[in-house]
Every structure is written in C-alpha cells, then in structure tokens.
Chain A
Amino acid sequence: MNAQSEELALEVRNLAVSIKTPHGVVHPVKGVDLTVHKGEIVGIVGESGCGKSTTIKGLLRLLPANSTVTADKAQLAGYGDLLATPVRRMREVRGAKIGFVAQNPFGSLNPIYKIERQFYELQKAHKTKVSRKESREIALRMLDGVGIVNPARVLDGYAHQLSGGMAQRVVIALATTLSPQLLIADEPTTGLDATVQAQILDLISGFVHQEGRSMVLVTHDLGVIAQYCQRVVVMYDGQVVEHGSVMDVMVEPQHPYTQRLIASVPKPGEKLDVSR
C-alpha cells in the first residue's frame, strides 16, 4: 500500500530503562527491540504501565536525570546512534531528525507564547537564518496542510484558545515543519472524538507515506493499530511479548496476553457477553 522497503529507518536492540527512586531502582523497560523500516508505521501497543511511553521517551532522551537508558544499539538512519549522543545535543535531533507528537498537545505548546512564535523558535533553533516573515509563511502553509481552516487566526492566538483537536493539529504541524524522516507519536489521538481521531491519523500517516518517511505510533487502541500500522510490537511489563505484521498479530495473536487484549475489544456487530 505504500513505499515500504527493507531499508532501516530505526534499529533499536535491547533498550532498557532504569529509574532511581527513593524506594530503590525500578526497571520500567527491560530489553526492548524495535525495528522500523523506511515507509512504515510501527505500532507499540500495551496497557498503562507496560513501558511503551518510557521506551520512546528513553530513545528521545526525554526522561528525568534519575533515569538511565542503555541499549546495544539505537541506530537512526542518516544520523547515528541516539544513545551515543550527549543529552544536550539531542535538541539537534528532536525536531529536525525525529518529530515528536505527545498525547497532550497543551503540554507541548507554550501557553504564554503566540503560536506564531513557536514556529519561529523551532526554525530558529535549527536553522540560523530565517526571517519572521519567512517563518510566518512556512507556518501558514503547515497549518493549512493539517486542515486548519483559518491559519492566520490560529498563528496570532494562544494555545488555550484552541480545541483539543485543533491544538493537536498545531503540534503535528510543528513536528513536521522541519521534515523529519522519523515521526514518533505517543497516543496522539487519545481523548479526541472518533471523527477527529480519524482525521488526525490520516494526516500523520499521509505525512509518513510521503517520500518514504517512517513512524513509531504508541497507542493502547487496537483499532488504530489495525487500521494505520503495518507492523506492531506488543508490550507487557517492560518487555516485548509479541511482534510482527499487523495482519499476523491482530488476526492470529500467538501470545496469551495479546489474545486477551484483542478479546477485550468490543467487536462490531457483537453484543456484550455477560456470562463471563
């Protein structure tokens, strides 16, 4: 269905995260492998606390200082090893090489800057020469591209004036402004209406399927996995319990946890079985 290739976009081997707490060291992620080919969307699915968000925050080096991230390999195509990069240099990677869309758009947007300034700062941080005027033009184009009806009004306003769906579109526009080759989205549509969810996911996957980009999509929604991802990684208790093509894993799950997860989704046309 798209330009999927054997060429790797991201290869992670044996990623582990440990966090020092007053009650001892905890290990939310215990050796996760993640392979993303060019042109492909890989889903990470699992329930709260399974380590799916911690895995990607570890990769992006967004975890607090009391945490340690290790891996045998965390190779980003066209860049190098992510974990070999000092944390302070990760700013060059995030935004330009990897676009990140978090669950809560209002956490990603600065509440006291106008939206326009956030586009400007993003570009300024990565490119030395961009005028306010150029930046505004780019921002207008990006916002139009994510389906915002009145881009100029949004640019001149603040985050709190936006609805959840609109704010998430703005975040997606920001995350894709610098055309990163890899997009990482952490529950990008959780809490949004079904219709808005479908639009946002179409937008993101449209961006990915242009020019062989790739995406890691973290979600607990099996519908999102089935409809938007090509491959899926199922996580439980900090480990990958099953991975493979969406067709294989979602249609014939092998691991008991995956089977249980899929069985707990209401299926279309089915009534709730109370007898259990």
Chain B
Amino acid sequence: MSLVEIEDVHKVFPARQRGGEPVHALKGVSLHVNEGETLAVIGESGSGKSTLGRVALRLIDVDSGAVRIDGKDLGAMDANTLRRQRADMQLVFQEPFESLNPRMAIGAIVAEPLQIHQPQLGTTEIRRQVLSTLEHVGLPQSFADRLPGELSGGQQQRVGIARAIISRPRFVVLDEPTSSLDLSIRAQILALLAELQREYSMAYLFVSHDMHTVEWVSDRIAVMYLGEIVETKPTRELFDAPEHPYTQTLLSARLSPDPREPHAYKAFAGHKTVRDAVENQEPA
C-alpha cells in the first residue's frame, strides 16, 4: 500500500463571474505517493497541479473520488480526526514571505504546529525543539526572535520548511518551493529538502513547472495537462521516452544552460498555442 493514494478525483470550481464558465480543475485524477519518495507533478499554469496539491492535504474538498493516507480516507474524517491527522501531512508554499505572518516572531511561527499537535510538550520543550529545528534547516537559533521581514527570501523559505517538518510529517506537499528564489539559493533549498527527506524518510509531492528542477529532485513524475494526468513515469524513463505529446512539447521547450546543446523546441514551431501544438502533433 502506498502512503498517499488519490483515486479518480474530480473538482469543479464555480464560475468566478456571472455568465463565466465553471473551471473543471481536476478531471478524474489518480496517483499514489510511496513512503520516502518524491513524486513531482508538473504542468503549465492552470493545469490543476496546485489544486491537486491542496486536494492531497484536504485543504480543498473533492467533488468525487477519494484521498487516502495510510489507507484512511481523508474525506470521511470528522474535523477532530482530520486535525490530528494533519501532524502527518504538511505544506510548503511557493511565496515564503506571503506564507509567514509578518507580525509573528520566527520562533512562534515554527512553534505553532507543535502547540497544536503536541500541546502536552510544554513551553520549554517546544522552545527547545524549535531551536533545534531552526538549526536543522540551516538557520542560527538567534533567528527565533526575528520577524519574517528581517530575513532574505531563502531564509524565509527555510522557516517555511522548519514549520512544515517540526511535527515530523511523513507526507509534505511542496508547492513550487523554489520558484521565487535566486538560482544559487534554489540549489541550497533543494539540497536541504533532499537531506531532510533522507533523514526523516518523508514523502514529497513536489508541484513545479520547472523541468530542470524536477529532473533533479524527483523519483517519479506525473505530467498534468488540462486537469488530467497524462503520463506518470520514473523520472529517467520520462525524460528518455516521453509518450504524451504534451510531455514531448514540455521537454522540447527546456532551455539547456549549455550552448552546445541547442533546444529542440522547433517541434511546435508554427503552432500558435501550446494546446494547438499538443493536439496537432504526431506522437513520436
């Protein structure tokens, strides 16, 4: 049994304006995440990948289908059971600063999950764990008394990670955790995430639109296109033999930092939109 199982999930968001079309964000999505592995979900904006990440944590309720962790159906849990379950499943956001309360000290932000999930620990023990977690994510303990605005983007994201791992979850959704960071900082954060994963054997659902990054970090990749998963494969296999036209388009649009490897994106030259390219391309 996989740690997380998502089975035939549908989600429709109502139209935002009168007369608008409802958005069918997830159209029968199924996937599983094994213990300790990184499954990347990749797709263009609007493909439903962030919705999927939130559905996997039941931050959004599904219209139909099931989400299970450890075989337990999240949708069937009452509020109390779900709250207890949340210690085991956490989220790291794309925009580190937006996801930290600007008026709370770093120490208080990182302490919150423990105060909720393990209040019996007491203030002293919680403080001790907060300081050791900060150190663990590469921040000095003195940062506990600082405010988010005093930190750089990379440091803020380390705080977001500390908050996510302090309750020792087995499953973490990473929603574009590095896309707002500079290159060298990005590499550091990815290395930190990989290190923590190995240490605590956490499973990651890594939502991203960056092929370079997912190739670097993931064991398997699920490709989303227009609300559906069109292809799921071990990372190497997906890169070596992409089957779906959208995956092929996505791969051909990668820009190698090595000028000796020109990109092969000509595959959809002449098509005005990605959709046009995908639908009118002959599968290789």
Which residues does chain B contribute within 8 Å of A260, judged by CB atoms? 184
In the complex, are the beta carbons of A223 and B254 less than 8 A apart? yes
When each residue 212-254 of chain B gets 1 if its CB lies under 8 Å from chain A and 0 otherwise, what string results? 1101110000000000000000000001000000000110111
Q: Are A267 and B257 in contact (CB under 8 A)?
A: yes
From B21-29, B123-131, B141-149, B189-197, give the one contacting chain A. B189-197
In this complex, what residue of B is CB-closest to A164?
Answer: B45
Residues of B within 8 A of A133 (CB): none
Whether the pair A250, B259 counts as a contact (CB closer than 8 A) is yes
Interface residues on A, range: 35 or more
> CB distance A147 to B255 under 8 Å?
no
- Interface of A with B (CB < 8 Å)? 47-48, 147-149, 163-164, 193-199, 202, 220-228, 246-247, 250-251, 260-262, 264-274, 276
Once the chains bind, are B273 and A149 in contact (CB under 8 Å)?
yes
Please give me the residue from chain B that is nearest to A192 by CB atom: B45
A265 to B44 Cα, complex, angstroms:
21
**With A194-B211, A226-B257 in contact, is A264–B191 under 8 Å at CB?**
no
A149 to B271 Cα, complex, angstroms: 10
User: How many angstroms between the C-alpha atoms of A196 and B253 in the bound complex?
Assistant: 8
Cβ-based interface call for B209 (8 A): yes
Contact of B191 among A261, A270, A272 (CB under 8 A): A272
A-B contacts, 18 of them at CB < 8 A, read A149-B272, A163-B45, A193-B45, A194-B255, A195-B268, A195-B277, A196-B44, A198-B252, A198-B253, A202-B269, A223-B212, A250-B257, A261-B184, A267-B258, A270-B216, A274-B191, A274-B194, A274-B198
* Chain B residues with CB below 8 A from A228, complex form: 255
Q: Does B265 contact A (CB under 8 A)?
A: yes
Q: A147-B273, A163-B45, A268-B261 are in contact. List 20 more A-B contacts (CB 8 A).
A: A147-B272, A148-B272, A164-B45, A194-B44, A194-B250, A194-B253, A195-B44, A196-B44, A199-B274, A202-B265, A202-B269, A223-B256, A223-B257, A226-B257, A226-B259, A227-B262, A250-B259, A265-B183, A267-B257, A272-B217
- B35 close to chain A: CB less than 8 A: no
Contacting residues, chain B, for A47 (C-beta < 8 A): 182-184
| Chain A positions within 8 Å of B184 at CB level | 47, 260-261, 264
Residues of A within 8 A of B256 (CB): 223, 226-227, 268
Instruction: Tell me whether A264 and B183 are in contact in the complex, defined as CB-CB below 8 angstroms, given that A193-B44, A272-B216 are known contacts.
Output: yes
Chain B 134-152 interface mask (CB, 8 Å, partner A; 1/0): 0000000000000000000
Tell me which residues across on chain A come within 8 A of B195, comparing CB atoms: 274
